[in-house]
Amino acid sequence: MIELTHDEEFAVLTIRRPGALNALSFELIERIGECIKEAGRSRARALIVTGEGEKAFCAGADIKELQRRGLAAQREGAELGQAVFALLDRLPIPSVALVNGYAFGGGCELALACTLRLATPNARFGLPEVKLGLIPGYGGTQRLPRLVGSGRALEMVMTGRAVNAEEALAMGLVNRIVQPPGLAAAKAYAREFSGHGLRALQFAREAVQRALDVPLHEGLRIEADLSTLAYRTHDAEEGMQAFVDKRKAEFRDE
């Protein structure tokens, strides 16, 4: 089951299927999509994504469900997973994965699709699909090299080896290791940016995201466009005036 709750200024999406280490059936993936959209319509200032229990964030796609499916169904399944995780890119609020244990296969890909990633000390990240005769199908081969470089990504994808929290931090796969583990740490982390205007955060996220897709000269043009749009917002007027007035800015997300 996938649950979306609200905790102070945050939406929290929790994967609750501890009996199968929070493995993702296609039904659960669809439900994740609905919850992401719901979070985008809510008043939340960030979405925190995590798994129930202390053992797993998510152990990946449900291997038992993947068996003996037709090719067309598999193709549809890959497109569904990719489309649902890509909703996080366009979500009007940033997302933070709180990886609290195993993040394997589709679980690792879900974390990769979030804007930022936190690891608890027992977190382990891996793309073990080759061990099943498969390759990642929910964006892992595309997002991992963009985050950690093709050499490290190829090593993880080709060996299927899992990395622990320290190694994940060292390679840039996660932003921070949180201690003590738990939602409070994720909320404290999200508060480092959630007070900023959502429009500015959205333009900033889009600019950085696009940097990974386009040549430098085109990326610079995108930055000029988006920074000009940001300049046109009420929040930019307010932010600059607050600086001059020596007071805290009161952003309206407009």
Contact residues toward ligand DAK (CB under 6 A) are: 20-21, 23, 59-64, 66, 74, 77-78, 81, 102, 104-106, 128-129, 132, 134, 137
What is the closest distance, in whole angstroms, from the C-beta atom of residue 156 to ligand DAK in the complex? 12
Nearer to ligand DAK, 52 or 129 (CB): 129
Nearer to ligand DAK, 6 or 69 (CB): 69
- How far apart CA 114 and CA 24 sit, in angstroms, is 16
Report helix, strand or coil for 35: helix
Active site residue 129: yes
What is the closest distance, in whole angstroms, from the C-beta atom of residue 115 to ligand DAK in the complex? 21
Instruction: Dig out the tokens for 143 from the structure.
Output: 């997002």
Nearer to ligand DAK, 38 or 65 (CB): 65
Would you state the torsion angle of the CA atoms of residues 42, 9, 17, 72, taken in this order, to the nearest 10 degrees?
A: 40
Residues whose CB is less than 8 angstroms from the CB of residue 80 and which lie 6 or more positions away in sequence, other chains included: 26, 29, 30
Report helix, strand or coil for 213: coil
- How far apart CA 65 and CA 178 sit, in angstroms, is 33
Residue nearest to ligand DAK (CB): 105
Do 94 and 47 touch, CB atoms closer than 8 A?
A: yes
Catalytic residue among 27, 52, 54, 129: 129
Nearer to ligand DAK, 24 or 230 (CB): 24
Catalytic residue among 9, 52, 109, 192: 109
- How far apart CA 117 and CA 113 sit, in angstroms, is 9
Active site residue 167: no
**Adjacent-strand bridge partners of 49:** 13, 97
- How far apart CA 141 and CA 137 sit, in angstroms, is 8
What is the closest distance, in whole angstroms, from the C-beta atom of residue 126 to ligand DAK in the complex? 8
What is the closest distance, in whole angstroms, from the C-beta atom of residue 215 to ligand DAK in the complex? 31
Q: Which residues belong to the active site? A: 109, 129
